[in-house]
Amino acid sequence: MTVIVPLIAVLLIGVSQLVSGIARPTAEAAIIGYVDELGGFQQYTSQGNITLVRFDTPGDATDALISGDINEYFVIPPDYISTGVINRYTLEKQLTASPAVTAVINNFLLNNLLAGKVPAATIARIEAPLNVVSTRLTETGAVAPEQGGYGALIIPFVFSILLALSIIFSSTYLLQGLGEEKENRLIEILLSSVSARQLLTGKVLGIGAAGLVQVTVWVISAPLLLNLASSSIGGFISTIRLPPNFIALAVVYFILGYLLYAVISAAIGAISSSSREGQQLIGVFTIPALIPLWFTSLLMFLPDNPVWVFFTIFPLSAPVEAIMRLGVSAIPAWQLVASIGVLVLSIIGILLLTTRVFRTYLLMYGKRPGVGEVFRSLRSG
Amino acid sequence: MCYNANKERTVTMQAVDVSHIIKSFADKVVVNDLSFSVAQGEIFGLIGPNGAGKTTTIRMMMDIIKPDSGDVTILGEKLSEATKNKLGYLPEERGLYRKLGVLDSIIYLASLKGVDAHSAEERANELLNQTGMLPHKGKKIEELSRGMGQIIQFIVSVIHDPELVVLDEPFAGLDPVNVELLKGMLFNLRNQGKALILSTHQMNEIEELCDRILMINHGRLVLYGNLAEIKSRYRSNSVLLEFEGELGEVPGVAEKRTHKGYVELALDGNATPQQILERLVSRGIVISRFEIATPPLNEIFLRVVGEDHE
């Protein structure tokens, strides 16, 4: 899984580029024919790698298309000015022109229509009239150090997905390991060599180390993947920036989030009779880690809704939610303190409860104790 | 045949000293005020019917579970993490990592007992060779037969040269060749001064291997002590006789039971076996076997468990 996730990302990028036709943007020089029935469209016939060739009649253009001299052609009808209709002819099944061809035809028409009537600079502006540059100001009117926007969102968003995946995979590994040891009756040999607490700690730290290696591989592969994807997202890469304190908070939330789910998995592994049963039970707990990802778009448009405060403090969703919110808006200090505090207390609390039931139920094979029985064990220790 | 401990060995401390341990699960008392000790250099039998509390007792000795009250002292020390490295354990419910190789499994489990990888490999090769398992050391556990897996588990329980080895049903699932192999290894360990606790339902194995036994039922001690003494306590005051000639009426014999190849003479309350032997010899009967009958352990087991049940 460590390597599969980046590989899947590479595959997705490749497929999306192939499908959108951007993988070979204008590498092949294309020749597009046109028939000017309106008149006045003679200039600007060279647009990048695409050359436009004029034909006198649609019949000539069709012959050229069939013989392969041109890739496609379009006709500017006499009533074009009033209707805006352009008739395009192609041998391809796909009737919609690619974005590159559409842009070329658009610029060709625009330039010829405005040639000599307005300055060239104005034509260029009409082609691309809007390039919004937003600046976020603080309440004092100064330029805010944290400018927000999609550039700031991308890294927290990617990290929160990785964190949620890592939590789910690590929990599954831990459950599988414990389940196998219970099913194979190895647990008795292990407990005759180490204490239940040592076994629990070893499991959490061992799987944690594996989780960290996984995340490290993903984080290292992320810039490479972004580079690969850059052709499809253009200059967006240059706008990516880290929110303040992001790395420190990301590390804190990764460790706490991982520990929380590791101790929950250990408790479930102890009371489950098989690894399959354990994985069904852990699903109930991993769903809250995924909830923030489901509401990403709502978070972007309504960043100040109180519901996000709840998810930031609720321990099961806190790690993923807090990381995502860092990319959208600043999180008030009290919420961060409350979130981390509740997480730490939850981890300690669940760890204490887990150590009470861990030893007893690890040795109980074949049947899962009822809820009442577990509570009785917690009381008696 | 009963193998006795090395009497010349100076015993400085008990290998195991269990004092008044009690353990309950969900209000059911599983082990009830149990006390016993096991000396170094002896093979000690722990027997009892299913559900008697044997495994729970062993788990408390192994520090896998804690007693509700009472003390367990192993090799003169209170149970601790450090003590665990001196213990070897072959549990009744056993298994190994199925996907792991034989050698890797042994080395990993030895490392949990504080043995470094190099020493563990060296010793593993030695033990694999001794048990005829060396050709299989490169295999995965899942490729081994049940008996082979059990031999590997036995190796795991002794690879760290423990002072005390607890074996729960060690012969279950082994073929006769491997049973003999294992017995030989147990005697070797005993001769090295190790204490061995053997829990099994196979009474003949206990009779053959053990010096002393503890029988528990419903979590309580019902028999404890030297095996020969226990058997003599349960003897039925009869003698087994193989002879040539006519036996006739023998004074002091209350009943004569004929078995295949021998006769069992039940003595009345007044005669001793010595007197009976003298009377038979004086009649000129040729005696090829004269043995004071002691019941097999299996019979004692059934009798004690039956009495305890009533």
Q: Are B74 and B144 spatial neighbours (Cβ–Cβ below 8 Å)?
A: no
Q: Is A63 an 8 Å CB contact of chain B?
A: no
Do the chains contact at A188 and B89, CB–CB below 8 Å? Answer: yes
Of A188, A193, A376, the CB nearest to B93: A188
Q: What's the alpha-carbon Rg for chain A, to the nearest Å?
A: 30
Of A189, A194, A360, the CB nearest to B89: A189
Give the CB-side neighbour count of residue B130, counting CA atoms within 13 A: 20
Rounded Cα–Cα distance for residues B131 and B154 (Å): 10
The one-character DSSP state at B265 is E
- Looking at the complex, report in whole angstroms how far the Cα of residue B280 sits from the nearest Cα belonging to chain A: 58
Residue numbers in A near B85 (CB within 8 A): 193
Burial class (CB in 10 A: 0-12, 13-18, 19+), B269: exposed
Was domain A30-127 assigned CATH 3.30.390.30? no
Closest-approach residue (CA) in chain B for A357: B65
The four Cα atoms A286, A287, A291, A293 give a dihedral, to 10 degrees, of: 60
How many residue pairs bridge chain A and chain B with CB atoms within 8 Å of each other? 56
Report the largest interatomic distance among the alpha carbons of chain B, rounded to a whole angstrom. 73
Choose the mutation target among A180, A193, A274 for the interface with B, i.e. most B CBs under 10 Å: A193
Give residue limits of the domains in chain A. Answer: 30-127, 151-380
Rounded Cα–Cα distance for residues B27 and B24 (Å): 6
Closest-approach residue (CA) in chain A for B162: A193
Residue A70 Cα to chain centre, angstroms: 41
Strand order from edge to edge, sheet including B87-90: B87-90, B164-168, B195-199, B43-47, B212-217, B220-226
Rounded Cα–Cα distance for residues A360 and A5 (Å): 37
Give per-10-residue mean pLDDT for chain B (310 aa): 43 81 86 92 90 89 87 86 87 82 93 92 92 90 88 92 92 88 92 92 86 90 87 81 82 85 84 87 86 80 72
Q: What pLDDT tens digit does each residue of chain A (381 aa) get?
A: 667 767 777 787 777 666 665 544 444 678 999 999 988 898 888 888 889 999 999 999 999 999 989 989 999 999 999 999 999 999 888 778 888 888 889 989 998 988 888 888 888 888 888 877 777 777 788 876 666 566 667 778 888 888 888 888 888 888 888 888 887 778 888 888 888 888 888 888 887 787 778 767 776 776 677 666 665 555 555 566 666 677 788 888 888 888 899 889 888 888 887 777 788 888 888 888 888 888 887 887 777 788 888 999 999 999 999 888 887 777 888 999 999 999 999 999 988 888 877 777 776 655 556 666 666 665 554
The four Cα atoms A269, A273, A275, A281 give a dihedral, to 10 degrees, of: -60
Residue numbers in B near A184 (CB within 8 A): 95-98
Written as one string, the DSSP assignment of A239-279 is H--PPTTHHHHHHHHHHHHHHHHHHHHHHHHHH-SSHHHHH
**ipTM of this predicted structure:** 0.78
* Tokens 């030893």 found at: A359
b/e sequence A216-250, b meaning 16+ C-beta within 10 Å: eebeebbeebbeebeeeeeeeeeebebbeebeebb
